[in-house]
Amino acid sequence: MSVKLHCAYDQRDNLRYIGDRLEKNLKYFCPHCKEEVSIKKGTIREHHFSHKPNSNCSATSETILHFEAKHYLAEQIANLDGEEVIFSFNLGKYIPALNVLNKKAGINVNSNISLYEIIHFFRIYNSTVEAIIPESKYIADIIAYSSSGTSYFVVEIFVSHESDKPKIDHLFNKRIPYLELIPFFDDSGKIQFTVHGYYLPGFFDPYKGKVDNAFLEQLYPLYENSLIEMAKRRIDEEEILKLKLLAVQSLKKDVEKDSLYSEVITALDEYSMTTNIQNEMTLVERTEILEEVITRFYSNSPYLVGKTSKSSLVIRKETQMFKKIIDQLLTQINISVLIGKTMGQEEQKEGIIGFELGIPQPSQLSKAIEKALELKLDDYERRFEKKLMGRK
């Protein structure tokens, strides 16, 4: 059973479409097998050209669709028509204002654009079916030419497979605009197209200009006062940032003077920093300055006594106290362990026999404070400069 045709050649070798006003006294022929076909127009079935019984035509629906789509578009281009050929594009890709509305308000950014608009934008005046793309080995379904003849426009029809990537890359590299379209017939038998791919350099710029101007004209009067307030606030914030940056840069110059470090160290000396280390489940009654710690023995068992100017008192739970002192010091200074053996006991296993406390010298503290201050001021300067750059 042969497939329905939507176009056929007449006796004058003109391609005619079923929707055209056809002359009944002319003969029409299949574009694929060249057999004579008859016109089928009624009130129930879709209008079409039909092969006669026992036809040998081997054309498939895909072959026919591809053929009819490219010839239909080529005719529209050659006649500078195309007002009824409509494509849907997502303009949000090219117009930031629309994209914002789509994301924030869920407003549809798709827009219908006719082939007529594209033809006139690229100044196309004629077209050829199945032609080689200039400076390449690739054949295009349709090549359209500009009125000057120096630029081209390519149309690819996607029925069974899409265009090869090397062909598309060539079009991009040569800045040749193109459309890749998927054709289909609607319920009335009219051919329609879905956009599969495209490259239309500069085409969407006028749309962006129209939208931007419309936004300004319509929205600015509504939000004029709010926009002015926002601009003033932005200027005020910028001025504050500039002042902060100047203050940091000025402070950095002062930091380079040695007198500032001595002032910082002197200021630190005014603060007394103490840490209590105390056994669990005990109650403090008073404090006294420790003068020395001595070892006493009871039944050959050693114990420690702390001597102050007023009294001598046993140090309770010295092991627990010792651990707490070491734990506290580890958070404040560098501690190294001294590893060795008791003299005269060579067979003894190694153990910790003492500690080395890395107490920083005042000069080292001064350098550390100097470096920390410089790094902090550098950080503030970078942050303020970055914020100011972001506002330009």
Asked whether residue 344 is assigned to any structural domain, the reply reads no
What pLDDT score was predicted for residue 170? 92
Please, what is the average pLDDT of the chain? Answer: 80
pLDDT score, position 135: 84
Residue 145, burial from CB neighbour count under 10 angstroms (0-12, 13-18, 19+): buried
Domain for residue 246, yes or no?
yes
Do both 124 and 182 map to the same domain? yes
Mind listing the pLDDT tens digit for each residue in 87-102? Answer: 888 877 777 777 766 6
Residue 44: per-residue pLDDT: 59
Q: Which residue has the tokens 């630190």?
A: 268
pLDDT at 226 > cutoff 80? no
pLDDT at residue number 265: 62
d(CA 304, CA 295): 5
- What pTM value is reported for the model? 0.50
- Domain C-terminal end among 18, 40, 59: 59
Q: What is the pLDDT of residue 267?
A: 66
In this structure, are 220 and 193 located in the same domain?
Answer: no
What are the pLDDT digits (tens) for 278-336? 877 888 888 888 889 899 988 888 888 889 888 898 888 888 888 888 888 887 778 88
Q: Are 94 and 139 contained in the same domain?
A: yes
Size (the chain), residues: 392
Is position 180 within any domain?
Answer: yes
Share of the chain above pLDDT 90, in %: 8
Give residue-wise pLDDT tens across range 336-350.
888 888 887 778 888
- Better-scored residue on pLDDT, 341 or 271: 341
Residues 111 and 173 in one domain: yes
Please tell me the total count of domains within the chain.
3
Give the model confidence (pLDDT) of 10-69 as tens digits.
888 888 887 777 877 888 888 888 888 888 876 656 777 888 888 888 888 788 888 888
How would residue 392 be classed by pLDDT, with cut points 50, 70 and 90? low
Question: Quick one: angle between helices 96-105 and 205-255, nearest 10?
Answer: 90
Query: Helices marked H in the chain — which ranges?
Result: 61-78, 96-105, 115-121, 165-173, 205-255, 258-269, 318-330, 362-390
**What is the rounded average pLDDT of the residues 113-121?**
88
Judge if 224 and 193 occupy the same domain: no
Which residues form the domain of 24?
Answer: 1-59
Same domain, 15 and 114: no
| Residue 105 predicted with pLDDT over 60 | no
Look at residue 308 and tell me if it is in a domain.
no
Same domain for 128 and 52, yes or no, is no
Same domain, 196 and 120: yes
Closest to 366 (Cα-Cα) out of 223, 263, 250: 263
Number of neighbours of residue 239 by Cβ within 10 angstroms: 10
Whether residues 199 and 95 share a domain: the answer is yes
Considering the domain boundaries, does residue 178 fall inside one? yes
- Asked if the structure places residue 280 within a domain, the reply is no
Q: Which residue do the tokens 């319920």 mark?
A: 187
Q: Which of 315, 289, 312 is closest to 304 using CA atoms? A: 315
From 82-91, 124-133, 169-178, 247-256, the region with the lowest mean pLDDT? 247-256
Instruction: Please report the sign of the dihedral spanned by the C-alpha atoms of residue 153, residue 157, residue 162, residue 167.
Output: negative
Band (pLDDT 50/70/90 cuts) for residue 108 is: low
Asked whether residue 196 is domain-assigned, the answer is yes
Residues 373, 241, single domain; the answer is: yes
Q: Identify whether residues 370 and 236 lie together within a single domain.
A: yes
Q: Which residue, chain included where needed, has tokens 């350099």?
A: 201
CA distance 64 to 4: 9
pLDDT classification of 199: cutoffs 50, 70, 90:
very high
* CA atoms of 18 and 41, how far apart (whole Å): 8
CA torsion, ordered 15, 21, 23, 29, to nearest 10 deg: 30
What count of other Cβ atoms lies within 10 Å of the Cβ of residue 81?
Answer: 14
CB atoms within 10 A of CB 155: 25
- Does residue 179 carry a pLDDT above 70? yes
Residues 49 and 91 in one domain: no
Tell me the β-bridge partners of 306: 293, 313
Buried b (16+ CB within 10 A) or exposed e, 173-209: eeebbbbbbbbebeeeebbbbeeeebebeebbeebee
Question: Is 380 part of any domain?
Answer: yes
